[in-house]
Amino acid sequence: MAPSGPGSVRRRCRRVLYWIPVVFISLLLGWSYYAYAIQLCIVSMENVGEQVVCLIAYHLLFAMFVWSYWKTIFTLPMNPSKEFHLSYAEKELLEREPRGEAHQEVLRRAAKDLPIYTRTMSGAIRYCDRCQLIKPDRCHHCSVCDKCILKMDHHCPWVNNCVGFSNYKFFLLFLAYSLLYCLFIAATDLQYFIKFWTNGLPDTQAKFHIMFLFFAAAMFSVSLSSLFGYHCWLVSKNKSTLEAFRSPVFRHGTDKNGFSLGFSKNMRQVFGDEKKYWLLPVFSSLGDGCSFPTCLVNQDPEQPSTPAGMNSTLKTPENHQFPAKPLRESQSHLLTDSQSWTENSANPGKGKAGMSNPALTMENET
């Protein structure tokens, strides 16, 4: 077996270093359990009823916090399906031909039957040169994971994982339960924190745990409340963190609300249709992560989204015109609660008109 090179050693060292924030959070969580459950509830509280109520509520929040944090860390990010990867022949063409019209033609042929509506800033098909695939809508290449991640939001060092389609709901619940956890600790610890400064506590080691516990809970409550509020706003607008900083580009141009379907449907896209699962860290998001309903006003003239040149639109009560049926129908009910997709024959000339659009270029994104 060949010895490991310097590059392999560096990669292993980086993988170990990436776990440091997770270890820090885990140690902090373990200490907070000891400080609250043992030193505060059992040692310092004198009222038995208060002890029981606080311990039950605390363990419920603690369990939900740990469960959602675990799911966020260890749920693998989803990658584009094989239909978005170039075939072996297409890869050979890209490698053999000089970059230019030949590359553009290969990408044009490969993308013509895929449910993609977003483009690069120059109006080109979004292509990942490292993964050698055509990026689905809302998919981005993570430089840390070195993979294309479906509906990538960001790479979070505190969970050592990419937050995307497969675990975004878990990440939101992790923020929610960690915020409730900190607020609960701060609220129930406050009276004992005041006693610490008024010399109302016995002179034991418990008083120092109580003091630092309140400081830590209050500090994290402030930071978590702003972060959780920001992500709630993103969900209400159906945006990812990346899309909030750089709006998606469609054929008709940049549209910061291109994927927004209204507050209720935006919520359901992340949390699912069954409300009984909303507060549990179990996967219930709608769709497959590769295609998303949009509220495009202008139809993409170059995207044949139905077979045999069929072209259809669907209007909601908000008078938005949606793209025709995508490759998958797993999210089509988001567009309307009572109507289904309809297909109407369109002018055959429309399919040919798209061929006169500007040539496509390749996008390298790290």
Using CA atoms, how far apart are residues 123 and 125, in angstroms rounded to an integer?
A: 7
Do 252 and 296 form a contact (C-beta atoms < 8 A)?
Answer: yes
User: pTM of the entire structure?
Assistant: 0.80
DSSP string, 280-296: SSS---SS-SS------
pLDDT for 5 equals 65
Using CA atoms, how far apart are residues 36 and 160, in angstroms rounded to an integer?
A: 27
- Residue 138 burial (C-beta neighbours within 10 Å; 0-12, 13-18, 19+): buried
pLDDT tens string 225-250:
999 999 999 999 999 999 999 999 99
Catalytic residue, chosen from 156, 182, 290, 295, is 156
pLDDT category at 4 given cuts 50, 70, 90 is: low
Residue type, 182: C
pLDDT tens string 292-318:
998 864 444 444 443 333 333 333 333
Question: Which residues partner with 85 through β-bridges?
Answer: 133
Which sign, positive or negative, has the C-alpha torsion 192, 197, 200, 201?
A: positive
Question: What's the chain's average pLDDT?
Answer: 81
Using CA atoms, how far apart are residues 363 and 128, in angstroms rounded to an integer?
A: 6
pLDDT category at 125 given cuts 50, 70, 90 is: confident
pLDDT tens string 317-339:
333 333 433 434 445 455 554 33
Largest CA distance in the chain: 86
Do 309 and 348 form a contact (C-beta atoms < 8 A)?
Answer: yes
pLDDT tens string 105-119:
788 788 888 999 998
54 is catalytic: no
Do 222 and 47 form a contact (C-beta atoms < 8 A)?
Answer: no
- Region 271-289: mean pLDDT is 96
At 186, list the tokens.
């701060």
Closest CA to 145 of 125, 127, 172, 163: 163
pLDDT tens string 18-47:
999 999 999 999 999 999 999 999 998 889
In Å, what is the CA distance from 320 to each residue of 260, 305, 311?
11, 18, 16
Expressed in percent and rounded to 5, the helix, strand and coil fractions of the chain are 50, 5, 45
At 196, list the tokens.
């610490």
Do 251 and 119 form a contact (C-beta atoms < 8 A)?
Answer: yes
- Residue 326 burial (C-beta neighbours within 10 Å; 0-12, 13-18, 19+): buried
- Any idea which residue has 């919520």 for tokens? 267
- Any idea which residue has 């923020």 for tokens? 175
Residue 286 in 3-state DSSP? coil
pLDDT for 98 equals 65
At residue 284's C-alpha, the angle toward residues 340 and 333, to 5°, is: 5
Question: Which residues partner with 128 through β-bridges?
Answer: 133
Residue type, 341: W
Query: Could you give the percent of the chain with pLDDT greater than 90?
Result: 57
Do 167 and 152 form a contact (C-beta atoms < 8 A)?
Answer: no
At residue 103's C-alpha, the angle toward residues 299 and 124, to 5°, is: 30
Count CA atoms within 13 Å of residue 78 on its CB side.
20
Using CA atoms, how far apart are residues 23 and 259, in angstroms rounded to an integer?
A: 36
Please state which of the ranges 49-58, 79-88, 300-309, 340-349 shows the lowest mean pLDDT: 340-349
Paired sense of beta strands 154-156 and 118-119, if any: unpaired
pLDDT for 168 equals 98
